[in-house]
Amino acid sequence: TGPKQITVESQGVNYRALSDLFHISEQRKDVFVYDISVQMIEIYNEQ
């Protein structure tokens, strides 16, 4: 679960980049075929 009220400004760079990527792929779906896969690892610097 995450925050209840997520705005564009509060999203991280990964989510904004993916949103842009999917938006562009949707706009160009009549011209190109996209196969998108994503992997992500998040490392915390705990002290």
What was the pLDDT predicted at 46?
73
Percentage with pLDDT > 90 across the chain: 34
Beta strands (DSSP E) in the chain are none
Q: Are 38 and 18 in contact (CB under 8 A)?
A: yes
Give me the mean pLDDT over the 34-43 stretch.
87
Distance, CA of 23 to chain centre:
10
pTM reported for the whole predicted model: 0.61
pLDDT digits (tens, 9 = 90+) for 10-31: 788 888 899 999 999 999 999 9
Q: Where are the domains of the chain?
A: 1-47
CA atoms within 13 A on the CB side of 30: 1
Q: Which of 5, 32, 31, 8 is nearest to 18 (CA)?
A: 8
